[in-house]
Amino acid sequence: MYMKRFTNKIFGTILALVTSLSGVAHAKELGSVIDTAAVKQALQRGAIVWDVRAEEDYRAGHIPGAVSIGDAQRMLRDENNEDYLAVAEIAETLGGAGIDLAKEIVVYGAKAHTAPYFALVTLRYFGAQNASVYHGGIDDWKAANEKLDKDPAQSKPITLKLAPDPNVVIGTREVLARLNNKDVQILDVRGAREFSGEDIRALRGGHVPGALNIPYEQNWSDPDTYRKLARKQVNNKDGLNLKSADQLKALYAKLDPNKETIVYCQSGVRSSVSASILKDLGFKNVKVYDSSWLGYGNTFDAPVESLTFFNVGLMNAKLNSMQLRIDDLEDQLEKMRQAAREKPTSEPVR
């Protein structure tokens, strides 16, 4: 029995190591996706390392020398429409952290998170020519027992002048102008229920006519990793490693690398992942639709397939019902507090 447990333990260790090394090898097959060793080499070259996580996560431990602006997805976008802020605001934010787009930049966050890829596309959108993403992020850095810092990096603010590149990111009107163009293909990387219109996240549900649906999680070795982690079916994030280049090419085999490819999701974040990978796979003209479904679904002259509508009345009824339940619970809680205050603190003396 002891020998069997020992053998299983050794086998599990070897399997984990092979899986980890496989993830590293896959990263090397994609030009803009780098691994832990490459990050260390970049640091030695003096590259800027940008941590795109929330401030509290950054202060809890980050790659030594990494700069931060806080949660990049929040700091660079309008919280209402989730589009980019004004160019001048973005320039001030990036420049204040010393993020010089003329230099080599490595972006990271949590493993397989969308934010680093969003930051990568943002850098390219504003002219960066030498930017990469550390897909394994802080999780792989810790797994390699690399050093962490908790003190914020001291970076020198710089003045940036940014000019958006329309070949990287486009808007709703540009997408509408390309519908029915045989030289243009559209990739929807949202979940299947969003694509079908069952999961409505704008005033309308459905998808852009002619779009092909390949959820962005399909880029991972195991798309069900988060679900398995929640159910404690796995105890690591190895399933979040990217598939091999050959597997990724097979995943996108229905797309033509020579055509203009527009990639969208809900707000331009998940699409940044798939767009970056397509670019690495040799797709010649890849654009991220920044407003994505949030912009398209709320544009009522935009044609939609699998069209559904958001039921405002039903949602209000559900919210009102929920509020009544909350009010009732608060009343019960207050009665319990009142009863506790009125209850004698000790038994009377007899």
Q: For the chain, which residues make up each domain, given as ranges? A: 27-164, 166-310
How large a percentage of the chain has pLDDT more than 70? 88
* Fold agreement (27-164, 166-310): yes
Q: What is the pLDDT of residues 19-29, one digit of tens each?
A: 344 444 455 56
212 pairs with which residues across the strands? 187
Residue with tokens 């205050």: 341
Token pair listed for 34:
């780098």
Which one has a higher pLDDT value, 163 or 347?
A: 163
- Mean pLDDT on 173-178: 97
pLDDT of residue 329: 87
Please report which confidence band the pLDDT of residue 129 belongs to, taking 50, 70 and 90 as the band edges.
very high
247: number of Cβ within 10 Å: 13
Residue 14 has pLDDT above 90, yes or no: no
- Mean pLDDT on 199-209: 96
Residue 241, amino acid:
N
- Mean pLDDT on 128-154: 97
> Residue 113 contacts by C-beta under 8 Å, 6 or more apart in sequence?
137
- Mean pLDDT on 291-304: 96
Please report which confidence band the pLDDT of residue 323 belongs to, taking 50, 70 and 90 as the band edges.
confident
Residue 18 has pLDDT above 50, yes or no: no
Residue 289 has pLDDT above 70, yes or no: yes
Please state whether beta strands 305-309 and 204-207 pair in parallel, antiparallel, or not at all (unpaired).
antiparallel
Q: What is the CATH T-level fold of the domain 27-164, as seen in this structure?
A: Oxidized Rhodanese; domain 1 (3.40.250)
Please report which confidence band the pLDDT of residue 314 belongs to, taking 50, 70 and 90 as the band edges.
low
Which one has a higher pLDDT value, 296 or 326?
A: 296
Q: CA 217 → CA 103, 242, 270, distances in Å?
A: 31, 9, 9
Q: What is the pLDDT of residues 73-127, one digit of tens each?
A: 999 999 988 999 999 999 999 999 999 999 999 999 999 999 999 999 999 999 9
Question: How many angstroms separate the CA atoms of 203 and 209, rounded?
Answer: 17
Q: What is the pLDDT of residues 223-274, one digit of tens each?
A: 999 999 999 999 999 999 999 999 999 999 999 999 999 999 999 999 999 9
Cite the DSSP H helix spans in 137-223. 137-143, 172-178, 192-196
Second-level CATH architecture of 166-310: 3-Layer(aba) Sandwich (3.40)
The pTM of the full predicted model, rounded to 2 decimals, is 0.84
Please state whether beta strands 260-264 and 285-289 pair in parallel, antiparallel, or not at all (unpaired).
parallel
pLDDT of residue 94: 98
Residue 349 has pLDDT above 50, yes or no: no
